[in-house]
Structures are given as C-alpha cells and as structure tokens.
C-alpha cells in the first residue's frame, strides 16, 4: 500500500525516522576538485577536473589510492565530457561502470580493474547514440538494445524520461511533468533548466526514479514509462505558469531554487540528496547542511538523514553502513557512518 497517490500534493513528508548525523569523517580536502562520486562494489570512484586523470580510484575499505584513468581529449579512448548515472556491473572480469560521454554521444562500459592495470581506459562495450535525441545527461543501459535517458538542452519536445531502442532508432517518451502553462514562451535552454532532473534505475532493472531540481517532487516509473506514483510537496511546486518565473526581458528564468540534486539507487532504497529549496543564486556562496531523503521503491518515505555538510553528490555503501558525499564548494570528500538495516 502506497503512502501517496500519483497526483496529490502534501505539506510535509512524514518519514518513519529522522537521524541527525555527526560531523563526517574528512577523507581529503583541496586535492582533486571533485564533482561526482560513485561507489562500485569495493571501489570508490571520484570524478575530478584533472584532464589527464579524470577518475581517481580508491579502495572503499581502507581508502587507499589505487590509480586513475580517463583522459580528456579527442582520441578514440578519450573522454570529451563524461558523466555517470552510477550504474555499474560486477562480474568475473572485474568491476565496470557505464560512462556517458556527453559531447561524443557515446555510452561506454569501462572495466575499471583493466583500466588501472593497463594505464589506459579499457571500454568493453560502446554504443553510439543518435545525436538528435540529445541524451546528454543521465543515460541508463537496460540491455544492448534498450536505453533509458533524459534530455539535454537541445531537445525539441522534451520529456521527463525516454526509452530509446538503438536497433530501430525509435524513442518513446513519458509525459512531461509537471504540466505548466505557457511553456511556449521560453527557449530550449530554459526548458532544460526548468525540467532538469536526475534519473536512476533500480539495480535489478525493474523500476525507474526521477527527482527534479527546480521542483520539489520525485517520480517513479515502470519500464514501459507508466507513471507509478509521485511524492509532491506544496512548497517547491507553487509555480503553475511559466509567466510567474520569466524575467521581463523574456530570456531568463528568475527565483529558481534547488531541491533534489543527486540520486543513488540500491535494490532496497532510493537515496536522494535534498538541498531544501536553496536559491540557485546562492550556489557556492552560502553553505547549507543538506538532507538525504531515503525512500523505498514504492515511494514510501523511510529515513530523513540530516547531514552536517553542504553536499552535491552522494554514494552509499549499505553493506558497511557508509554514506560518501562530495562538498564541491569546499573541495572536500566526507563519509558518514549510518546503519539503516
């Protein structure tokens, strides 16, 4: 039985338990200018701005540095602008992670172990996506034919979630939610900013979750893109008409806020980084202590974790009871002990 229906707004989410975490363990600071962190089984991968070693790899147990991979460039094994939706594979050949190279429209399965051993990026699979669909954000591998993604800023007729068949070159789109009036008044770049979301798939590949940045809502879908349910709070969903947030010059959006900012999926829970509606204009200027909201895959709110730092990306080690977080504005990486079992 679900807590919330598909379309109802609520004033406040009621979590089963609230946990205030103590100051996190500082792993390192001012070293890597990191923006994203991914825990893949026993490896911790830190995405950096270093063009000669884009990804630093650490052992998750002792946090020992194991090496780096990924070069920014135009070569066949180089990355132009890599992004990962934190989807990884563990098998007898090693630990592998899916990387979406946004400006090359290429999704690659990178073998981390082999890349570290060889000193160069080893991609076991590569898929070239049709640029017209503009999958330049989250891109999820379901199988070698079907992919799920959300659109970048150049897409005409965007959706919240799309299913793409690479064999037939056919895209199926979910409805664009929330439905707003007068979206025809804004350009594609502003539509992208307004509907920006984070997309993740349950590791057993049975459900999808989409969390919005500019609206205070998180939505669940099945693999046929049927909308299963949503958690929508009144605060952060006041805008019903684009005219109310469009600058008088008609070229920019005003009073934009940040709500959901990162997702980490496990088969048990969805961990959603929540920035409490911080004004976009305050990004990097005013630190806030963020929350991590924990939901089950039916959309039921389970835990509210009150974090002691200003994080923009998280990963979770449920087995060993750790949450890792990147504080990009202060260039620091933390981890926090928390037992949700």
Q: What is the CATH number of the domain that holds 330?
A: 2.40.128
What's the mean per-residue pLDDT of the chain? 91
Decide if 242 is inside a domain.
Answer: yes
Decide if 78 is inside a domain.
Answer: no
Residue 76 class from Cβ within 10 Å (0-12 exposed, 13-18 middle, 19+ buried)? exposed
Decide if 88 is inside a domain.
Answer: no
Where residue 291 falls among pLDDT bands split at 50, 70, 90? very high
Secondary structure element (H or E) that encloses residue 227, with its range? strand 227-233
Q: What is the pTM of this model?
A: 0.94
pLDDT tens digits, one per residue of 14-45:
999 999 998 889 988 867 777 789 999 899 99
The answer, yes or no, to whether residue 269 has pLDDT greater than 50, is yes
At residue 129, the pLDDT reads: 93
Nearest to 43 by CA among 23, 27, 64: 64
Q: What is the CA radius of gyration of the chain?
A: 19
In order of 112, 116, 192, the CA distances from 62 in angstroms are 18, 18, 40
The answer, yes or no, to whether residue 1 has pLDDT greater than 50, is no
Where residue 250 falls among pLDDT bands split at 50, 70, 90? confident
Mean pLDDT of 148-154: 91
pLDDT tens digits, one per residue of 55-102:
999 999 889 999 999 999 988 889 999 999 899 999 999 999 999 999
pLDDT tens digits, one per residue of 109-134:
999 999 999 989 999 999 999 999 99
At residue 4, the pLDDT reads: 38
Decide if 46 is inside a domain.
Answer: no
Q: For residues 130 and 155, give the distance between their C-alpha atoms in angstroms, rounded to a whole number.
A: 12
Q: What torsion, rounded to 10 degrees, do the Cα atoms 131, 135, 137, 141 define?
A: -120
pLDDT tens digits, one per residue of 39-65:
998 999 999 888 788 999 999 988 999
For residue 287, what are the domain limits?
1-30+155-164+180-341
The answer, yes or no, to whether residue 285 has pLDDT greater than 80, is no
Decide if 315 is inside a domain.
Answer: yes
Hey, which residues does 109 pair with through a beta bridge?
98, 125
The answer, yes or no, to whether residue 2 has pLDDT greater than 50, is no
Q: For residues 339 and 341, give the distance between their C-alpha atoms in angstroms, rounded to a whole number.
A: 6
Domain count of the fold of the chain: 1
Mean pLDDT of 281-309: 91
Q: Is the peptide bond before 178 cis (omega within 30 degrees of 0)?
A: yes
Tokens found for residue 117 = 């051993």
Q: For residues 260 and 37, give the distance between their C-alpha atoms in angstroms, rounded to a whole number.
A: 16
Decide if 79 is inside a domain.
Answer: no
Q: For residues 161 and 176, give the distance between their C-alpha atoms in angstroms, rounded to a whole number.
A: 8
Decide if 140 is inside a domain.
Answer: no
Lowest pLDDT segment from 163-177, 273-287, 308-322 = 273-287
The answer, yes or no, to whether residue 7 has pLDDT greater than 70, is no
Decide if 265 is inside a domain.
Answer: yes
Q: What torsion, rounded to 10 degrees, do the Cα atoms 213, 199, 100, 53 define?
A: 60
The answer, yes or no, to whether residue 315 has pLDDT greater than 50, is yes
């Amino acid at each position: 039985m679900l807590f919330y229906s598909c379309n109802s707004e609520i004033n406040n989410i009621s979590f089963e338990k609230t946990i205030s975490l103590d100051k996190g363990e500082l792993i390192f600071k001012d070293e890597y200018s990191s923006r994203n962190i991914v825990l893949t089984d026993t490896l911790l991968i830190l995405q950096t701005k270093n063009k000669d070693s884009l990804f630093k790899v650490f052992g998750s147990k002792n946090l020992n540095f194991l090496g780096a991979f990924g070069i920014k460039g135009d070569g066949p094994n180089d990355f132009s602008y890599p992004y990962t939706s934190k989807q990884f594979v563990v098998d007898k050949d090693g630990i592998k992670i899916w990387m979406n190279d946004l400006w090359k429209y290429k999704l690659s399965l990178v073998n981390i172990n082999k890349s570290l051993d060889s000193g160069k990026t080893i991609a076991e699979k590569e898929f070239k996506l049709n640029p017209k669909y503009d999958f330049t954000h989250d891109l999820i591998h379901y199988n070698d034919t079907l992919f799920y993604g959300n659109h970048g800023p150049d897409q005409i007729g965007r959706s919240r979630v799309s299913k793409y068949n690479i064999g037939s070159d056919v895209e199926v789109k979910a409805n664009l939610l929330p439905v707003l009036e007068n979206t025809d008044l804004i350009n594609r770049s502003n539509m992208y900013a307004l509907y920006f979301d984070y997309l993740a798939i349950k590791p057993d590949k049975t459900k999808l979750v989409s969390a919005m940045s500019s609206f205070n809502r998180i939505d669940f879908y099945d693999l046929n893109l049927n909308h299963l349910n949503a958690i929508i709070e009144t605060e952060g969903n006041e805008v019903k008409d684009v005219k109310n947030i469009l600058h008088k010059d008609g070229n920019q959006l005003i009073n934009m806020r940040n709500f959901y900012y990162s997702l980490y999926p496990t088969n048990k829970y969805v961990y959603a980084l929540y920035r409490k509606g911080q004004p976009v204009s305050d990004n990097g200027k005013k630190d806030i202590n963020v929350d991590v909201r924990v939901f089950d895959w039916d959309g039921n709110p389970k835990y509210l974790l009150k974090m002691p730092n200003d994080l923009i990306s998280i990963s979770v080690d449920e087995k060993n009871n750790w949450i890792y977080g990147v504080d990009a504005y202060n260039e620091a990486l933390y981890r926090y002990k928390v037992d949700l079992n």
